[in-house]
Amino acid sequence: MANFDEIKGRYKGIDEALQSFFCEYSGILFLEQTAGGSVTSRYVWAELQQAEQAMQSRIYDDYTSLVLSVLEQLSQVDLKLLNEFTHSANQVKQCIRQEGPLLLSSVEDVYKFVKRELVLQQSIYVKLAL
């Protein structure tokens, strides 16, 4: 079982990796589509190159391992906070995988969103683990 300092250090490492991944290696495109006289627009992830896909997989695996370590310690505590933690973790995973609807217009905004979720997860962990 991981201790508090180890979990904190792993979150710091994930945060640094995600900042680099999103802000240096990811991109967002603005698409406009015309259908039946109406124009729709949306943001989509730019396709990652093979090296960036490998980085994405490593970060995803490291993050998933961290989440599982935290959940192992939190499994018998407050269900509402546990659900909040799980929802937050799923949102971060979706961003790492660059899946689902993209509501933000820049990679910097995506990183800021993910950073807030990581801070939320750490605060839940602190509340429940201590």
Structural domain including 72 reads 4-129
Neighbours of 51 (CB within 10 A): 9
Detail the DSSP E strand segments found in 4-92: 28-35, 38-45
> At which residue do the structure tokens 């991944």 appear?
21
For 68-106, give one letter per residue: b (16+ CB within 10 A) or e: ebbeebbeeeeeeebeebbebbebbeebbebeeebeeee
Looking at residue 81, what is its pLDDT? 87
Looking at residue 130, what is its pLDDT? 64
Looking at residue 47, what is its pLDDT? 94
Terminal Cα distance for the chain, rounded: 14
What distances in angstroms separate CA 102 from CA 51, 55, 69, 81, 91, one per listed residue?
Answer: 23, 20, 28, 26, 11
DSSP state of 43: E
- pLDDT, one tens digit per residue, over 75-92 is 667 788 889 999 999 999
Contact 27, 107 (CB under 8 A): yes
In the predicted structure, residue 1 carries a pLDDT above the cut 60: no
* Residue 13 CA, distance from chain mean position: 13
Looking at residue 41, what is its pLDDT? 81
- pLDDT, one tens digit per residue, over 7-64 is 999 999 999 999 999 999 999 998 887 777 777 788 999 999 999 999 999 999 999 9
- pLDDT, one tens digit per residue, over 98-126 is 987 788 999 999 999 999 999 999 999 98
Number of compact structural domains in the chain: 1
Looking at residue 2, what is its pLDDT? 67
